[in-house]
Structure formats: structure tokens, C-alpha cells
Amino acid sequence: MEKPVVEVKHVSMRFNLSSQKVDNLKEYFIKLVRKELKYNEFWALKNVNLKVNKGDRLGILGLNGAGKSTLLKIIAGVLKPTEGSVTVKGKIAPLLELGAGFEPEYTGAENIYLYGAVLGYPREFIAEKYNEIIEFSELGKFIDVPLKNYSSGMKSRLGFAIATVVEPDVLILDEVLAVGDAKFKKKCEAKIQSMFDKGVTVLFVSHSLPQVQKICNKAILLEHGKIIANGGIEEVSAIYEEKTK
């Protein structure tokens, strides 16, 4: 039997939302010591179990606040679950909140090396792919400008170009294709399609059902942090459409 590339076992994620306003750190510690801090517990995910096999392209559907992005961040290793465990086999390229690891004071060029290091790729590899990254991002002379002067679209384009220059085993996409103009979007889709052709495993979150249907062969539907449907893309899409009527 085929072993899954991604396995999520009994994963739950709790966030503590403070119900009081604390003005400064000193006040926070005083209230903490006196046990005066009150929290509202919020479970973003509750006992999620999921197996993704090699080459699967899984769409993660759900309304706002269903836990989609939280699940992706846990699989990518950005968040540690409160309960449960996640196993991922092979190289992972998380296209989450593109550019979140960038340093605004550094130029685009410097950030290519920085972000590459964050993703775990050797400096020599990034140097080899440097021109390819710039060409794909279409930033031209802006590559020598500090990132604080970039628009969010420019940052996303650079983040996408760096993260997809590698050949990952697992690609994690969170709404990234919604960024940029129609021409760049097409280019991103073509790049991702070339990865699909190489058999990369994909986890994809989007609010656009047609986009998920175009890209994915399987889907899960999350509601209030729980998986309420898991199966083929047509079957899960139909349930999702019913829910959003």
C-alpha cells in the first residue's frame, strides 16, 4: 500500500484570545502573576486527520474562519499544533503569505538569498538560479531597490519566483494565484502546471472554486475546524456549493 507524502494525525489547534486590553508589558506580567488574565479559547482546528498521496492535488475548501490557512501553516511547519502530529516526506515549498520572510530594508537581490536560505536551499543553488528568479519575477531594475518600496504584488511575484525555482516534492499554495495581473497569473499557472507534470504533490487553498476545480483532483471541506467532506473534487465541490447557496 502506498505510503502518504503528507499525513496529519489527530491535529487540533487552539488559540487563546485575550478578552481584556492590556496596555503594556508591565501590566501584562502583573495580571499574569495575579492570575487576572482571562482568555477565550478558540479552537481553529479540531481532531483533523488527513492523508495525501504522492501526486495528489488536494484543494482545501471552506468559508472564512474554517481553519484552511491554519491547517496549511501547520503542515508547512510554520505553526506547531496544540495536539496531534504531522509527517511530511521530501522537500516542501510553502507559498504561504508570500514574502512574509522578507527583510524590508534589504534589496530584492539580497532577499533572494535570504528567502532561499529560509527555504533551506544552499547559496550556490540560489546563485545558479539567480537570473532565472529575476527573469520570472519581472522586477527588472527594481531588484536593486529595498523591499520596503515594493508593492504587495511585487513582493508576491518575487516570493513566488524564489519558492518555485526549486523542484519540491510538496507544494503548498495559499491564495497565491490571486496576486498580480492576468498575464502574470497565467505565467504562475503555467509554472505550477509544469510542476504537476513532474508529479509534485499539491495542497491548495483558494476562495475561487473554479480555480480549485481546474487545479485539483481531490478536495476536503472544512467547517469550524473539522473536516466534513473528503473525496474527489466534483463530489466535495458539490457539497461546498450547496453550503454556500
Q: How many whole angstroms separate alpha carbon 48 and alpha carbon 151?
A: 36
SS (H, E, C) 96-127: CCCCCCCCCCCEHHHHHHHHHHHCCCCHHHHH
For 67-100, how does the pLDDT look when each residue is reduced to its tens digit (9 = 90+)?
Answer: 998 999 899 888 899 999 999 998 888 877 776 6
User: What are the residue ranges spanned by the domains of the chain?
Assistant: 54-243
**pLDDT of res. 19:** 56
Q: Which residues contact 70 (CB under 8 A, 6 or more apart)?
A: 13, 44, 45, 79, 225
For 152-166, how does the pLDDT look when each residue is reduced to its tens digit (9 = 90+)?
Answer: 888 888 988 988 888
Grid cell of 20 as nine digits: 481584556
The amino acid sitting at 153 is G
* pLDDT mean for each 10 residues of the chain (245 residues): 89 79 67 67 93 94 89 89 94 76 92 86 92 95 95 86 86 72 83 85 89 91 96 96 87
CATH for the stretch 54-243: 3.40.50.300
